[in-house]
Chain A
Amino acid sequence: MLALIPLFPFLGFVVNATMGRRLPKSVSGGLASLVMLASFAVSVISVLQLAGLPPDARTIDQTLYTWIASGDLNIALAFRVDPLSAVMILVITGIGSLIHIYSTAYMHDEVDSEFARYFSYLNLFAAFMLVLVLGANFPLLFVGWEGVGLCSYLLIGFWYKKKSANDAGKKAFVVNRIGDYAFILGMLALFAKFGTLDFRSIASAVAVLPVETEFGILSLAALLLFIGATGKSAQIPLYTWLPDAMEGPTPVSALIHAATMVTAGVYMIGRNAVLFSHAPETMMIVAVIGALTALMAGTIGLVQNDIKRVLAYSTVSQLGYMFLAMGVGAFGAGIFHLYTHAFFKALLFLGSGAVIHALHGEQDIRNMGGLRKELPLTYRTFLIGAIAIAGVPPLAGFFSKDEILFETFIEGHTLLWVIGALTALLTATYMFRLVFLTFWGERRHDAPVAADAHSAPSHPHTVAPSHHEHQHLHDAPPAMALALVVLAIGSVAAGWIGIPHALGGSNRLGTWLEPAFTVSAAAGEGGAAEGGAAADGAAGTDHTALEFSLMTVSTAIAVVGIAFAYFVWVRRRRVADNMAREFPGLHRLLLNKYYVDELYDATVVQPIKAASTEGLWRWFDVKVIDGAVNGSASIVEGSAAMLRRLQSGSVRAYAGSLFVGVVVILGYYLWR
């Protein structure tokens, strides 16, 4: 039954990849959407089945066969759904279905074969992502992990005729590879320590160990796994690929680079919650990296001019929030934010896609404005997404973000809380800057033409802006509108299943997830007592007053951020430019993303390039490898030059040597 969940999208992939070029768009796109819906249906059935079990025993296993059996290593191809992966499969298949439907309209201008290629990648991605979250052991998770990386590469470079898209795809792939290397090392460390790679077995084995007070094997393994997560989930120092990944089609950005794939790292930490909670040093690193990433990406997002890049930095920032939550031990809060973020960030990306679609590929917000009247549906849904991410109650983002900030505060990380709150302010500001610049005011054409590479529209059907200046713009077609509306409803309501106790809710999501982060009595023998993982649901009662005040603070922060954005970008348009002129250094620093790409280029890319050119090519390849080949040839040549003198052509000399040879051999045998 569980196997069907990834199998349906895989089937869609096989059909679209093999026969897609001969199918009309309605069939290939419809099939791709249909298999996602089927997968969603199976997911819902599985989750309902799971919910019917008592909370302690909420896992469903399905072992298909033994995948690898080699000595101590025994890996089964096994799927497991527990409360954590239940949330994940619903998000992936649910939002995935909507984005597939949206894509049928968004990608409609492509020719049939490209259209089918797009959907085959998208289906393949969904299949791998589902393997990732359903896999019951590390290698299976890693299969999904690498598979989604592959699909990400393929989809970022979907418009492969564009050099920037190809470069972005390669960058994503290479940067991810760095993280994956650490991830493999982490797996090996765990196998060396515990002799198993099954999540549940590792968790039970870890649970009986004491919490590491200093940096030991558990901390090392957890840290290596986290480095893998920084690659996949775009955290410092490996986040640079995600903003570039916006070269891909917008629905891809929504599905892969906002809602699902980039949250794989968060999921992985949640999956190994017991391990991570036994490694407090690593947890601290996770929390600090998360908070710093959130802040840094937030500040960059404030000045970017490409609508998708703002959203990309926003994604990095929100992922930072999730890691902050994971790092302070609030696993439930992190997954909660993952889940709500999937709704509103997918909504925002799809909304931006609708804008780009309507403007025929324009992505620079300096060339937008006044779209409120022309694209009313897009505007309204985008606004809902923006309010949700800004953290205004009672929309989804408020509850999850607030829970993270609250948990951070409760755990005593005041500085991290301050960073988180600051980031919340930035989030509200840059999101509403985006809203105001895109939808309010009058239509502008401020962007310097081809001023920087990023403002070049990546949509293939680019027309010069002046051509459609006076044209009537078309709001989202039905398939896109459906996805926008459903996601908007989700962005409003998704948070309601996690209303904290302080507001009279019961944080049902937290309670639901809790067994996934501890070792249940049924699974680990005697390990349950030691398994001190998250207990976020229970924390609320003692701190109601504190929670209220923190909530007030974060709501106030959101409102202040929105008001600030309104003041700067609607009332006083000059203020923003003045500020940029006032602090030119800071502005340039932010606009150039802290020069991190340049830094990496100088410290990593160029040295590797130089070492490869001078060391590997000019020395090793030319001298050593070619030298060995040419050297053996000249040895043969030289020795042959001497040996050929023996062939004198004189028959009597041959006969003489033959005779001598016979005498020597016979003599040897006779007189030895």
Chain B
Amino acid sequence: MIPLSYYLIVSAVLFAIGTAGVFLRRNLITILLSIEIMLNAVNLSFVAFGRYAGDLDGQIITFFVMTVAAAEAAVGLALIIALFRQRESLNPDAFTSLKW
């Protein structure tokens, strides 16, 4: 059986990739995809913990996260389209007018 730590390492690597994507990419759609990667990294660790503990809680909460992620993707993409119509750009640095 594969030890728990292997799953967690994969999960951490995925999470790090997602985080790096959020910070480094200059495209809103890519940032959204990076967030999805971070969520799925978390899902992976939940499932791994659930399996390790021998109950279904981890899988149940993963379903919840997937549901929310789907909603988030829908709303997020809609917002991005709206933003694009405003500025003709997908660079997050173009949207800094909400400040003092």
Near B by CB (< 8 A), chain A positions 640-672 give 644-645, 647-652, 655-656, 659
Contact call B23/A644, Cβ cutoff below 8 A: no
Q: Which residues of B contact A651 (CB under 8 A)?
A: 92, 95
Given contacts A652-B92, A652-B93, contact A647 B23 (CB under 8 A): no
Most buried by B among A647, A649, A659: A649
**In the complex, what's the smallest C-beta–C-beta distance from B21 to chain A, in angstroms?**
11
Complex Cα–Cα for A299 and B93 (A): 97
**A650 contact from B19, B22, B93, B100, Cβ within 8 A:** B93
Say whether B98 contacts A649, CB under 8 Å: yes
A647 close to B96 (CB less than 8 A): no
How close is B39's CB to chain A, nearest CB, in angstroms? 15
A648–B22 touching, CB < 8 Å: no
Give, as a whole number of angstroms, the nearest-CB distance from A643 to chain B.
10
Query: B99 in the interface, Cβ–Cβ < 8 Å?
Result: yes
- Jot down 23 A-B pairs with beta carbons below 8 A, ordered by A: A644-B100, A647-B99, A647-B100, A648-B96, A648-B99, A649-B95, A649-B96, A649-B97, A649-B98, A649-B99, A650-B92, A650-B93, A650-B96, A651-B92, A651-B95, A652-B22, A652-B23, A652-B92, A652-B93, A655-B22, A656-B23, A659-B19, A659-B23
B69-100 CB contacts (< 8 Å) to partner A: 92-93, 95-100
Q: Nearest Cβ in chain A — how far from B78, in angstroms?
A: 17
- Alpha-carbon gap, A498 to B100, bound state (A): 93
**Measured between C-beta atoms, what is the minimum distance from B42 to chain A in Å?**
13
User: Nearest Cβ distance between residue B79 and chain A, in whole angstroms?
Assistant: 12
A-B contact count (CB 8 A): 25
* CB neighbours of A652 from chain B (8 A): 22-23, 92-93
Closest residue of chain B to A650, judged by CB?
B96
Query: Nearest 9 CB-CB pairs, A to B?
Result: A649-B99, A649-B96, A644-B100, A649-B98, A650-B96, A647-B99, A651-B92, A647-B100, A652-B92
Residues of A contacting B92 in the complex (Cβ-Cβ under 8 angstroms): 650-652
B34 CB, nearest partner CB in chain A, Å: 11
A655 B98 Cβ-Cβ under 8 A: no
Minimum CB distance partner of B96 in chain A: A649
A644 to B100 CA separation, bound complex (whole angstroms): 7
For B95, list chain A residues within 8 Å (CB).
649, 651
Question: Which residues of B22-43 have CB atoms within 8 Å of chain A's CB atoms?
Answer: 22-23
Interface residues of B (CB under 8 A from A): 19, 22-23, 92-93, 95-100
- Cα–Cα distance between A96 and B15 once the two chains are bound (Å): 97
Q: Which residues of A contact B (CB under 8 A)?
A: 644-645, 647-652, 655-656, 659
Interchain CA distance A651-B32 in the complex, whole Å = 13
Chain B minimum-CB-distance residue to A644: B100
CB-CB under 8 A from B96, the residues of chain A are 648-650
* Residues on B with beta carbons closer than 8 Å to the beta carbon of A647: 99-100
**Residues of B close to A659: CB separation below 8 A:** 19, 23
In the assembled complex, the Cα of A648 lies from the Cα of B95 at a distance in Å of: 11
| A649 CB contacts on chain B under 8 angstroms | 95-99
In the complex, what distance in Å separates the CA atom of A187 from the CA atom of B45? 81
A446 and B60 CA atoms in complex are apart in Å by 113
- In Å, the complex CA distance between A656 and B22 comes to 9
Residues in chain A near residue B19, CB distance under 8 A? 659
What separation, in Å, do the CA atoms of A370 and B99 have in the docked complex? Answer: 94
Expressed in whole angstroms, the Cα–Cα distance for A359 and B9 within the complex equals 114
With A650-B92, A650-B93 known as contacts, the answer to whether A655 contacts B23 (CB < 8 A) is yes
Q: Which residue of A lies closest to B19 (CB)?
A: A659
Rounded to whole angstroms, the CA-CA distance of A652 and B31 in the bound complex is: 10
Q: Which residue of B lies closest to A640 (CB)?
A: B100
The minimal Cβ–Cβ distance linking B66 to chain A, given in whole angstroms, is 22
Instruction: With both chains docked as a complex, state the minimum distance between the C-beta of A278 and any C-beta of chain B, in angstroms.
Output: 78
Chain A: CB-nearest residue to B25: A652
Chain B residue contacts of A650, Cβ below 8 A: 92-93, 96
Expressed in whole angstroms, the Cα–Cα distance for A648 and B99 within the complex equals 6
- Considering the chains assembled together, what is the distance between the CA atoms of A651 and B79 in angstroms? 14
Beyond the given pairs A649-B99, A650-B92, A656-B23, 18 more chain A to chain B contacts, judged by CB atoms under 8 angstroms and listed by A's residue number, are A644-B100, A647-B99, A647-B100, A648-B96, A648-B99, A649-B95, A649-B96, A649-B97, A649-B98, A650-B93, A651-B92, A651-B95, A652-B22, A652-B23, A652-B93, A655-B23, A659-B19, A659-B23
CB-based nearest A residue for B99: A649
Hey, which chain B residues are within 8 Å of A655, CB to CB?
22-23
Q: Would you give the shortest CB distance from B35 to chain A, in whole angstroms?
A: 10
**CB-nearest residue of chain B to A641:** B100
In the assembled complex, which residues on chain A have CB atoms less than 8 Å from the CB atom of B23? 652, 655-656, 659
Bound Cα distance A647, B96 (Å)? 10
| A residues near B99, Cβ cutoff 8 Å | 647-649
Query: Complex Cα distance A541/B13, Å?
Result: 122
User: What residue of chain B has the Cβ atom nearest to residue A655's Cβ?
Assistant: B22
Return A88 CB to nearest CB of chain B, in Å.
77
B1 nearest CB across to chain A (Å): 27
Once the chains are docked, how many angstroms separate the CA of A648 from the CA of B98? 8
User: In this complex, which of A647, A655, A659 has the most chain B Cβ atoms within 10 angstroms of its Cβ?
Assistant: A655
B26 closest partner in A (C-beta): A652
With a cutoff of 8 Å between Cβ atoms, the chain A residues found around residue B98 in the complex are: 649
Q: State the CA gap A245–B15 with chains docked (Å).
A: 91
A588 to B23 Cα, complex, angstroms: 98
CB nearest neighbor in A for B35? A655
Compute how far the CA of A647 lies from the CA of B93 in the bound complex, rounded to whole angstroms.
Answer: 14
* Least Cβ–Cβ distance between A659 and chain B, in angstroms: 7
Bound complex: CA A656 to CA B98 (Å)? 17
Bound together, the chains give a CA A150 to CA B22 distance in angstroms of: 79
Closest-CB distance, A641 to chain B (whole angstroms): 9
